Amino acid sequence: MSVTLSAIDRMIGQIDRLHSVPAVAQKILGLIREPDFNLAEVAACLEHDPALSARVLGLVNSSRYSPASRVTSIRQAAALLGQRTLKLVTLSFSLIDAFSRGAHRQLFQDYWKRALTTATVAQRLAVRTKQSCRDEAYSAGLVADLGILALAHALGEHYVQLYSQFVHGPELVAAEVGAIGFDHAELGARLLERWGLPAQVISAVAGHHRPAADCDPMITVVHAGWLMSEALWTPNSPHVSAARDFLNERCGVGLDDFIELALACRNDINESADAFGISLSEQVNSEQLIDEARRLSFAAAFDATSELDSLADVAATTSSTTSLPDAV
């Protein structure tokens, strides 16, 4: 085992001593591991956790699933979700709840703003690129920054101060590695591995800040979701340009599609926040992002035109100076 993994596992051991994932989640996981699990038992178990039940119902009744009529029964919700998605939802919400209890208010707000945005974008891009993992993409987006909650849970104010001093992304990751030897993405991935989430989700969480050029499509859409979350929630964010370029190059999202995605994000985030009982301290400013994206696109088009004009001038000058002399 590498030194980094040893350090992460020691941290997880410390977290386990402080707090474990709720017993309801553990019981549900035990029930749905079997292919022929009893849905009535799962529903009865879910009903013992009102907060988890409310979030499951909120998710099923959202536009993501668009049921023909409102679902009010946990048993019906579990049947609609199916075994795979039920496991993802149960684990994701339970882990988030476990590590967000007593969390610093600003850190908690930041977490949910990023989580809802990253999940929304990742799922929409998974559908757009015809991947068969839209539920996994959504769950990966929700828990991509779980390691931040876990570090705050384990290290308290020491980590909150470090978190508040650095911009989320490569700067924060570097600061975490310097201070504790690993970053929140590595810790989050190890926690998810421990709790049995799918390998694709674990890889996406581990790599969502550092996607390789040939990475799994799931990592691509979750990284794109994170970039969009920074671009949408941070005024004058430098990530707008990065988000536009990445989504264009890796996901085939042009300017019009980018604008459509930004507008959809606003609606999805508000709907999800209501469904999950999350009160966000501010609203996403998609108009500002759209204006900046347009400005960047126009600037890039102008630069490209200017470069073509310059090349044409050079070509014309070269042609005139290298032409053959008139025959005598």
Looking at the domain assignment, is residue 187 inside a domain?
yes
Question: Are residues 181 and 203 located together in one domain of the fold?
Answer: yes
d(CA 39, CA 82): 10
Q: Which domain holds residue 25?
A: 20-100
Question: Are residues 55 and 199 located together in one domain of the fold?
Answer: no
Mean predicted lDDT score pLDDT of the chain? 82
Question: Are residues 81 and 156 located together in one domain of the fold?
Answer: no
Looking at the domain assignment, is residue 6 inside a domain?
no
Looking at the domain assignment, is residue 247 inside a domain?
yes
Q: How many domains, in total, are found in the chain?
A: 2
Residue ranges in the chain modelled with pLDDT below 70: 1, 3, 17-22, 102-103, 235, 285-286, 288-289, 292-293, 296-328
Looking at the domain assignment, is residue 8 inside a domain?
no
Looking at the domain assignment, is residue 13 inside a domain?
no
Question: Are residues 205 and 261 located together in one domain of the fold?
Answer: yes
Question: Are residues 170 and 295 located together in one domain of the fold?
Answer: yes
Question: Are residues 245 and 188 located together in one domain of the fold?
Answer: yes
Question: Are residues 197 and 274 located together in one domain of the fold?
Answer: yes
Mind listing the pLDDT tens digit for each residue in 126-173?
988 887 778 889 999 999 999 999 999 888 899 999 999 998 999 999
Question: Are residues 95 and 122 located together in one domain of the fold?
Answer: no
Looking at the domain assignment, is residue 165 inside a domain?
yes
Report the pLDDT value the prediction gives residue 313, as an integer from 0 to 100: 53
Mind listing the pLDDT tens digit for each residue in 200-209?
999 999 999 9
Question: Are residues 265 and 146 located together in one domain of the fold?
Answer: yes
Q: What is the dihedral of CA 178, 184, 187, 191, to 10 degrees?
A: 170
Report the pLDDT value the prediction gives residue 255, as an integer from 0 to 100: 85
Question: Are residues 262 and 277 located together in one domain of the fold?
Answer: yes
d(CA 92, CA 111): 13
Looking at the domain assignment, is residue 242 inside a domain?
yes
Q: Cβ(148)–Cβ(168) under 8 Å?
A: no
Identify which of 35, 28, 116, 112 has the alpha carbon closest to the alpha carbon of residue 74: 28
Listed residues 100, 126, 149: the one ending a domain = 100
d(CA 228, CA 325): 59
Looking at the domain assignment, is residue 320 inside a domain?
no
Q: What is the CATH number of the domain that holds 219?
A: 1.10.3210.10
